[in-house]
Every structure is written in structure tokens, then in C-alpha cells.
Amino acid sequence: MGAVAETAAMVQELILPKAILRVQGMVERADLLTQRRAEQIGLNERDFVLVRGRSSILLDFGRELNGKVRIVTGFGTNGARVRIRLGESVGESLSEPGSKGSCNDHALRDITLPLPMLSDSEFFLSGFRFVNLELLDEGAELRLKAVNAVYVHSSRPEIGSFECSDACINEIFRTAAYTVQLCAQQYIWDGIKRDRLVWMGDLYPEVCALLSVCNNDGCVARSLEFVKAETPLPGWMNNYPMYSMWWIILVDEYYRMTGDLAYTLAQKDYFYPLLAQIDGCIAEDGGFDFGGCFIDWPTHGHPDEREGVRSLGKLCAKSACLLERLYGTDGRLSRNILRKLSEKGAVVSEKRQIAALKYLSGTALSEKERALLTQGGARGFSTFMSYFLLSAQSELAGEAAALASLREYYGGMLRLGATTFWEDFDIDWLKGKVCPIDRIPQPGETDVHGDYGKFCYSGYRHSLCHGWSAGVIPFLFRYILGVSITQPGYREVHIRPRLGGLDYVKATLPTPLGELTLDCRVREGRVHTDARVPDGIRLIVEEET
């Protein structure tokens, strides 16, 4: 492989609880846990939280965090049994294993242990916002000096920004950027509570988002290389043929955004046999057999999914053609794949994600399929495919319609207390009496975390911090600002702002050549753009007429 930059160092911060949500049993002075005090325990502590018998404290750290829980104890019952439960929602932090999907999968979040006195101990490495601390034994006593979250995250600076005249969209951008940053550790994970894995298909929106808000620090290439290294051919990445297609698309995308020629050229020896393997699964008449189909969980098993695989194959072939040219060949193999896949096709009947992929692959849509994408707002959206859905809506129904769907969909998660975006979301979850994630469900309310979700993310197993939900970031840059990288590494950039009813947009993009800053404002019915452009970038601005 080509040289990969050193990934930014990981740092740790101690975070105080923002609120005490509930105290049960014999607990005195719980409010001390929210106050900044000396972090060292002493032998003559006068100010501490006293917990006796079967008692509990529920803490809210104010936002989703990747990290650990630190507990500092004074004198008390040595080895007192304490149960610690983490949650991305209040409901999860109070749940029992097996109830509504509650589990310890991938990262522990529910443990019972003997807590020594006069200790400063750290537990877990997981994703959470809420902590329920419970003393289990009658007659036991615990004196607490502190309960902190140990926030573990990358030191990479966040450079990319997007600010506009709509406060909701600004909050959506910030939340998406925070989400992808949490999931980009030494490698890019899917989630920080569950799915601490490198899934190649899921990486696409994460990579586009991360490279739009941060400088390239090697995390992306390291993640791509990791999955390639564990997938010798004729294997399929992550055991899904479609995920090997995503790898080709990602190598092309990575080269376009970073200009990293050495790394991209080093993929040639893996690329060609993989492309031939994909070609071998496609018949001359356009039929194909990859041994299975997978695009998105909400489409899995639906008849439309096969058309999604065909469309993804076309997108893969188009990226492969660009890579073949870079590698010095004529693109014959990728063109053959595209030709064969274009021999057949089916009308998408229901799944909007599949219709979006079909449209963006360059395939003409029927009137029914166009209506599927342009009508209904954000109904039927999924977080993983949000970039494709918003992009297709923007092109077919206009930027204002796409921004309305963005507000409806991502704003719906914010209204339910989200501080990071979720593995999945359906706007129908907002119907009726629904309890947000930051309080205890009341009788007659739907618990949005515990009562919804399906497939691999049923109930509390559902991840509420999933990097693939950050596709809203490249959508805002590429469609609202109209940023198109026409020469790898931002050496040439076209700007075509279409603000969709916004009064202004100010943005900064990290590029390999420095920060590109744009200020687009509507004056006298037209969008006017001011830009600060680093040396080495040729910027072409097409202002709205």
C-alpha cells in the first residue's frame, strides 16, 4: 500500500454530569457530583455524596460520548457491590438485559462489580450519555467524591463548517459533524456503542463527511486498507459482494477528495482482479448472481433491492472507469460491466432509497419513480441512504424541497433529544405520545429507543450514534453550495450555489492545499459568492441567474 499518514492522537477529557435525573433510596448531597472540585481523593474528605443500602443515582452527561466512566470513592464499605448501567437513552440506562433488545454487544454497558473504598477507577469503553449507578446491598455504604465521563476522542481539529440563515440546519450540521468525529477513532467505526467495526459499505457517507470537516490524517486510508487486508480475493469485503463495490467507489472518492496518488496507485493489484470478479457475476443479458443482495436494512429482502444492486453496480463501474484511466488502461472492463448492467432493469415500486440510487446511477426513471422521490417529504428515508435521497430530491424537486426533507428528518431526531444521529430513524416514530431519549417514559408513552427499530437494531440495541448518518454533510456542501471537485485534491473546484430559500451560507472546507472559505448571499434575487482560495486551487464560480 502507499504511505498512510499517522492518525491523530487520542485524547481524554473528564466530563462532569450536567444533571441528576433521578435519585432513589438513601442518597445525600447528590448535587455535589455536578460541581467541579479537586479530582484527588483525600483521607479527610468533608464533602462527599453518601449512598446507603439499595440506592441509585441516574446521571445525564448532556451529550453522547465515546469513553469510560470514572468513579472516585472515599471511605465506606470496601468491595460494596455496585451495578453500573450506561445508556444512549434514559430508557436504556434503566433496562434489564434482554428487555427490548438491551444487551452488552460489542461494548459492555451493564456490569456489576465490587467497588473498593479510597479508589480512583475507570470502567468500560463504550458509547453513552446516561449513567445509572446502583448500590445493591442492604447495609452497604458508599462515599462518592466524583463520577465522571472520561471522554475519549481524536485530537484532529474540526475545520469544515457550515453556517446559514436557518438555525435548525446549523444544528443538524454540527450534530452530524460531531457524530462522524466520535465514530472516527484510529479506524472509522460504524457506531461507538454497537458496531465498533469497519463496514466498507457503511463507510461511504462517513468518509465523505469526515473529509469535508477534517484534514486527511490517515484514518480513512487505514480503514480502507484494514478491510482489504482481511479480504483476500476471491472473498467479498465484510462478506457482502456489494461492499466490495463500495470499496471501488470509495477509492475513487478518496482520490478525488485528497489527491493521494501514491495510495490510489497502490490499490491497482487488488482492484483489477476484484473488478474481473464482479464482471464474472454478470451475464451478457444483464442478469447477475452475486450469491445475495444487500443495499440498506430498510430495503433488505424487498423486491426493489435487486434493482438497487444493479444501480450500485453501475455507480461502481463508473468509479472503476476513472480508476482504470488513472492506472493507464482504457476502461474496457468497467465499460463492459456498465454495458451489461444496462441491458435490464425493473421499475422501483416502493423503496425510495433504491429509486435514488437508480437515478444517481444515470438510469432514466419512470413517472412513478420520479413521484416516489419528489413526493412525501422525508417519509421512508433512512440515515445510511440520506445523502442519496437528498441528492436525488435536490436534482428532481429542487433544493428547497430537499432542505425541507432534511429539516423534517434530521430535525425529528433533534426534537427527540438526539445529540448524535442514529443508525436509523423513521418520521412515523414522531406520531402520538412519544418519549424523547432524555427522560423516563411515562405510562401511555412510546419509548422511541426501546419500542422502535428492527432487523439488527431492534429496541435498545439500536445505535444512537452511527457515523453513516452523517451523509447530510456532503449533501450540504455538494448541492446547496454546489461544490464539485473537478481535479483530484481540489486542484480545480467548480462552485454552483443553489441556496434553496436560504438567505446566506458561509462555509469552510478543508483541502490538501489549505482552507477554502465561501460566503454565498442572496442579493437582489441572486446568489453572490465571495471566496478565499488557497494557492494551487483553480476556482470556477457559476452564480445563479
Query: Is the same domain home to 70 and 91?
Result: yes
User: In this structure, is residue 451 part of a structural domain?
Assistant: no
Please report the pLDDT score of residue 3 as a whole number: 52
Same domain for 26 and 137? yes
Query: Has residue 342 been placed in a domain?
Result: yes
Residue 235 shares a structural domain with residue 114: no
Q: Which helix (H) or strand (E) holds 459?
A: none
Domain that holds residue 52: 10-154
Give me the half-sphere count of Cα atoms (radius 13 Å) on the Cβ side of residue 390: 31
DSSP string computed for 460-483 = GGS-S-BGGGGGHHHHIIIIIS-E
C-alpha 544 chain-centroid distance: 32
Query: Do residue 181 and residue 222 come from a single domain?
Result: yes
Q: Are residues 352 and 405 both part of a single domain?
A: yes
Please state whether beta strands 483-487 and 538-541 pair in parallel, antiparallel, or not at all (unpaired).
unpaired
Q: Are residues 222 and 169 part of one domain? A: yes
Is 525 exposed, middle or buried (CB count within 10 Å of its CB: 0-12, 13-18, 19+)? exposed
Q: 282 - beta bridge partners?
A: 288
Residue that has been written with the C-alpha cell 460541581 in this structure: 35
Three-state secondary structure call for residue 323: helix
Write out the three cell numbers for 395. 436534482
Strand 483-487 to 492-495 pairing: antiparallel
239, 262: one domain = yes
**Is the peptide bond prior to 241 cis by the omega test (within 30 degrees of 0)?**
no
Contacts 24+ apart (CB under 8 A), 329-338: 333/272, 333/275, 333/276, 333/279, 334/275, 336/279, 337/275, 337/278, 337/279, 337/282, 337/313, 338/314
The residue type of 515 is E
The H or E element that residue 221 is part of is helix 219-229
CATH number where 56 lies: 2.60.120.260
**Which portions of the chain are predicted below pLDDT 50?**
1
At residue 309's C-alpha, the angle toward residues 245 and 176, to 5°, is 70
> Beta strand 446-447 with 434-435: parallel, antiparallel or unpaired?
parallel
Q: Do residues 59 and 93 lie in contact, with contact meaning Cβ atoms separated by under 8 Å? A: no
Contact in structure between 277 and 230 (CB atoms under 8 Å): no
DSSP line for 501-530: T-SEEEEEEEETTEEEEEEEEEETTEEEEE
> Domain boundary at 154, 176, 194, which?
154
Last residue of a domain, one of 126, 154, 182: 154
Question: Is 428 within a domain?
Answer: no
Together in a domain, 472 and 498 = no
For cell 452523517, the residue is 470
The CB-based long-range contact list for 501-504 (8 Å cut-off, 24+ gap) reads 501/399, 501/400, 501/403, 502/164, 502/165, 502/166, 502/169, 502/403, 503/164, 503/165, 504/164, 504/165
What whole-number distance in Å separates Cα of residue 219 and Cα of residue 199? 14
End position of a domain, from candidates 138, 154, 170: 154
Domain membership flag for residue 58: yes
Same domain assignment for residues 36 and 183: no
pTM of the model: 0.96
Query: Total structural domains in the chain?
Result: 3
Residue 218 CA, chain-centre distance (Å), reads 18
Distance CA 530, CA 164 (A): 15
Is 453 a member of any domain?
Answer: no
Same domain, residue pair 238 and 304: yes
The upper half-sphere exposure of residue 432, i.e. CA atoms within 13 Å in the direction of its Cβ, equals 8
Residue 189 and residue 139 share a domain:
no
Flag whether 407 is in a domain: yes
Identify the pLDDT of residue 1.
47
DSSP 3-state assignment of 192?
coil
Q: What is the pLDDT of residue 452?
A: 97
Q: What is the pLDDT of residue 273?
A: 98
Strands (E), 364-475: 434-435, 446-447
Q: pLDDT value at position 545?
A: 55
